[in-house]
Structure 1
Amino acid sequence: MEPVLVIHGIGNRDQHAWSQEVQELEERFETVTGNSTFQFIPVYWGDLAAHTENLDACMPDLEPAPSFSVPRVNPQNAKVTDLLNLINRLPAIVAAPIKAQLEAALNQVAGDAVRSYLAQQYQTARVSNRHMITTSLGDIMVYQRNQAAIQGRVWEVLKAFDVRKMGYGTSRKSVHVVAHSLGGVIAVDTIIRGKLPLHAKSLTTFGSQFPYFHLVDPRPTVPAYTGEPIVMPPQLKRWINLWEPLDPLSFVASKMFQLSSGKPVTDIQVHPEGGMTELLQGYHYTHGIYWQTRELLDALKENLLK
């Protein structure tokens, strides 16, 4: 069996569920292609990612946000109308400073009320979504600091598979790599690193941020982007990158990178199935949409079988 490394992205904390997802992807690939010579191997690094326990220790204690409504006011019965009528009867030299003070006071009261409401709503949303935020932004922060250990997990998994010491992942025996989200960043970083780079026969990324990461934080082992495509190291033989328009965490790669063979990186836009119901349910917006798409299976066929 030939190994296919599958690396997950942000927010994954269930190793068993991850292994099942990879197994299901392998089964769908075999069903579509009739090819059973590949073993899809899950690379799990969630235990090295951001800690999500005790988040309440840094969050404010808040009561549930109250509903916000503006009562209807009849100007004819409003006391402020009577007050303004009274002020308007005063000489202008007296009325002007009173109106100015009244306007300032009303502005302050209204501002305080709206500010208090918005702050309550924002903090409530922030506290309610603390785990989701931590397992996304937090995972990115932890990876940036702990790259060596997380990239090392790729090699640990590969060596556990390579019991016959065939040299999988080295220049002797390059491997196929499939990676989602931040897993794509981990994969490319492991491929291009200076010491013990991973040799990839093919790379399939989807919903990945490596192009963006390299723009804002250029990796030292490949040139920074200056307007011309960056030639990737020869240990990366083929790269197909999937992206979806409603996924804010997906980026294209073909504008920035090309393979050492001179061939371009292939970008493929994903077109999810489903109609208005799925769209309104958020199906088309989810970052994890790629797993069930035809485009992913087509990309795997292209990368693994050709």
Structure 2
Amino acid sequence: MSDPVFVIHGVANRDREGFTADVAALQAATGISMVPVFWGDLGADDRFVTAALPIRPAMLPGARRSSGLRDADEPPSVAVPEPVLASALASDPQASNQWTHVEAAVRERLASEDQQGGSGLRDTPHYGEADDILESLAEEWTRTEWLRRTDDPLLLFETGQSLAEALIEAADLWAGELGSYDGLRAGGPDEGRMRRMVRNRLRDLDRVAGAAIQGAAGRLNNALRTKFGPGTARFLGDVLVYQRHREAIHARVRESVDGVDPALGRTPERPVRVVAHSLGGVIAVDMATAATPLWTSSLVTFGSQAAFFHACDPRGGQILPYSGSQPVVLPPSLARWTNLWEPLDMLAFAAAGVFRLHDGSTPVDISVPHTASTGVWTHSSYWDLPSVASEIGTAMAGREKQPDE
């Protein structure tokens, strides 16, 4: 094929020269002639988006600080494993299968102490007291704010062990004072003492867990906003601008195509080939499926949201809304589609679950490997990945990989 491939960039790209250099590098890697389509000057004004990003109060000028080593209302800096944080911040206020772990921990610790013969529990039937303790614990557990939200087995087990340990220590003290364990045993002269101990200890543990989770969540939120906030804000800004000024951006693409040959893309006999990143993929799909389409023989998108946008807000043109029961059939004006996504790219979506091509085949979704050098924010990393250049070369040569290859 002698006609070049048109390359459309995505969101937050305001550097025409940098984009042109990226396309030149991609052209060199694939050996395919390419034309950059720059529309970033029509995008959102993203110079001041960071002014709208929330930051931790302690970071604001003039924020009141304590005389200690950390902010007065800042939770202790406690390391919280990611599964614990994720489960505790979930919307479901009562995680399932918690009690198995808590009960096992309490019984194991009490049984261990009983075997060692080292506490005020040793003079009474052991599992009777365990049942009493667990009954009180079960009643108080539903009143916790944080512990009842986690399904992390380790946190639940350690919580049960800590509760049992506190009761063992109290039993030793009270056995010395009272001469027996009756102060903790249900039915004894001070039955309420055990319940108060369970309640108070559980509230202490819940408060510590909550402080650790909130502290970790606050640091995570700050890190995510610092690292990803500006990029996400610019993404949203360009999406909003595109929704409002779609015609102007489409006209820019058409202008670039006409600059090569005004006949390109206007008929099925002279289709174009397109490579598009991020929102550029949405632009390419919108234009290829419009009432007056940009006829496209081969499309490669990477880190794109076309399927996601159509599922949320039908794009119009020649394609029907997605019903959820079967894929939407694309018109013949979009003949082939390869969709690349990187595993850590939160802005990349699959296409095959939402769309079918006119010939009954599916768009080909291909996961490109993550490399350590790209870090965590991978949405802009595609341009430098050899695997992306390789997949583009394969698709534009007229042969697309099948999902099982």
Distance 2:334 2:190 in 1: 79
Q: Which has the larger radius of gyration?
A: 2
Contact 1:50 1:135 in 2 (8 A): no
One of 50, 53, 74 as aligned partner of 1:53: 50
Aligned to 2:288: 191
Are 2:249 and 1:153 equivalent residues in the alignment?
Answer: yes
Q: Which runs of 5+ in 2 are unaligned?
A: 59-70, 81-161, 400-405
Task: Please state whether the residue corresponding to 2:294 is helix, strand or coil.
Answer: coil
Contact 1:3 1:176 in 2 (8 A): yes
One of 314, 329, 346 as aligned partner of 1:231: 329
Task: Please state whether the residue corresponding to 1:53 is helix, strand or coil.
Answer: helix
Aligned to 1:203: 299
Greater percentage in strand: 1
Identity %, equivalent residues: 26
Quick one: which amino acid aligns to residue 191 of structure 1? A
Distance 2:15 2:170 in 1: 60
Q: Which stretch of the first structure deviates more once superposed, 262-271 or 15-24? A: 262-271
**What's the CA shift string for 1:234-275, capped at 9, x where partnerless?**
322332223456656544434543333x252441534649xx
Aligned to 1:68: 78
Aligned to 1:18: 19
Distance 2:388 2:218 in 1: 39
Aligned to 2:218: 123
Distance 1:93 1:46 in 2: 79
Aligned to 1:293: 386
Task: Please state whether the residue corresponding to 1:59 is helix, strand or coil.
Answer: coil
Corresponding residue pairs, total:
288
Q: Which stretch of the first structure deviates more once superposed, 43-52 or 118-127? A: 43-52
**What's the CA shift string for 1:127-162, capped at 9, x where partnerless?**
122151452376247515742425632432541563
Task: Please state whether the residue corresponding to 2:273 is helix, strand or coil.
Answer: strand
Superposition CA RMSD, Å? 4.1
Distance 1:95 1:143 in 2: 66
Q: Which runs of 5+ in 1 are unaligned?
A: none
Are 2:396 and 1:303 equivalent residues in the alignment?
Answer: yes
**TM superposition score normalised by structure 1:** 0.72
**Distance change (3 Å), C-alpha of 1:59 and 1:80:** farther
**Distance change (3 Å), C-alpha of 1:68 and 1:80:** farther
**Distance change (3 Å), C-alpha of 1:203 and 1:160:** closer
One of 30, 36, 44 as aligned partner of 1:41: 36
Contact 1:204 1:241 in 2 (8 A): yes
Are 2:240 and 1:240 equivalent residues in the alignment?
Answer: no
Task: Please state whether the residue corresponding to 1:27 is helix, strand or coil.
Answer: helix
Quick one: which amino acid aligns to residue 149 of structure 1? H
Are 2:192 and 1:97 equivalent residues in the alignment?
Answer: yes
**Distance change (3 Å), C-alpha of 1:294 and 1:49:** same
Distance 1:83 1:144 in 2: 67
Task: Please state whether the residue corresponding to 2:190 is helix, strand or coil.
Answer: helix
Distance 1:201 1:69 in 2: 52
**What's the CA shift string for 1:15-57, capped at 9, x where partnerless?**
4433321220012122xxxx5xx3321434387258432144x
Distance 1:66 1:16 in 2: 47
Distance 1:214 1:259 in 2: 15
